[in-house]
Copies of this chain bind each other. A is one copy, B any other.
């Protein structure tokens, strides 16, 4: 039986999740795809750091070393930030690898460029994990767009912010206490700027924009509001009126084709479709011409939700590439 050889770039929470799921689901993946997978190499930043055991796998801090391994066909990427992730994925694509990424910061900026490179080389890019983690919004949107037109996308796209707003309301705690708790639970990064500034939600919204509308608005034209100015008093006032603060990311296309987008802290009532989305959950509503409004809700962060959709991307890509031509 043929074996797919893979590399994992970045071995933090998500990278380790990929490795674990590939091992746990080895038999099922082999059965359903007719192909085995073997992780040949893992790229890390700090060789001294403790991590799960990966017997027989080259663990290195040199991308060049991984690049030099002949026969790698799939690259999973779970690095943070634009560079060197973009450089690595470009080079992987040039070598004819399929790539699967969870990197929203990189992909919101370089997604179209990578897609073009991939097209030229006849390989695929999986990026379900870049947006709303375990919620399969990318696949759903791709499927819908075969028939439907999407007018508007509205969502809660940052789990950390939503968790903090939920905690402030339910636990009556201060902003900084909610942030501290989010860090302890691993929802917020050591540097939580991207989450609480709205930048994380903004990047995900731009990825959805490219997919739904084939383009993005000018970034400087998009109003991006974080949750940093919210006080416990404001949250309590809202609660007493049956309202909730939600950080809502929205993009819509006008009749002239132009795009209007924002990430904004909104006060919403019980009738609002995103009112009930609590904790680290994300939700995305799509307004379409034939289907109407479709909403997906699920965990917007976390090791296994994120890693799981990356392994799904892998299965999809392999399946596509092993389809036989059937003459119609």
Contacts and interface: CB of A to CB of B under 8 A. Distances in A.
A32 interface: yes
B322 A290 contact: no
Contact of A143 (B4, B29, B139, B148): B139
Contacts of A309: 147, 291
A313 to B, nearest CB: 10
A146 B323 CA distance: 16
A326 interface: yes
Contact of A291 (B29, B146, B299, B316): B299
A305 B325 contact: no
B147 A294 contact: no
Interface string A101-137: 0000000000000000000001000000000001110
A27 interface: no
A135 B320 contact: no
A300 to B, nearest CB: 10
A134 B292 contact: yes
Nearest to A290: B308
A44 interface: no
A197 to B, nearest CB: 26
Interface in A133-161: 134-136, 139-140, 143-144, 146-148
Interface class of chain A by DSSP: mixed
A87 B309 CA distance: 39
Size class of A's contact patch? 35 or more
B328 A73 contact: yes
A311 interface: yes
Contacts of A185: none
B134 A308 contact: no
A144 B312 contact: yes
A193 to B, nearest CB: 26
Interface in A264-316: 275-276, 289-299, 302, 304-305, 307-309, 311-312, 315-316
A169 B25 CA distance: 47
Interface string A1-34: 0101000000000000000010001000100100
Contacts of A318: 328
Contacts of A323: 320, 323-325
A25 to B, nearest CB: 6
A291 B139 CA distance: 15
A238 interface: no
Given A143-B316, A294-B298, 12 more contacts: A29-B147, A32-B146, A35-B328, A122-B326, A139-B140, A139-B143, A144-B312, A291-B298, A291-B304, A294-B296, A322-B325, A323-B324
Interface of A: 2, 4, 21, 25, 29, 32, 35, 73, 122, 134-136, 139-140, 143-144, 146-148, 275-276, 289-299, 302, 304-305, 307-309, 311-312, 315-316, 318, 320-326, 328
13 contacts: A2-B328, A25-B147, A29-B147, A140-B140, A147-B308, A276-B276, A290-B308, A291-B305, A293-B299, A295-B297, A318-B328, A322-B326, A323-B324
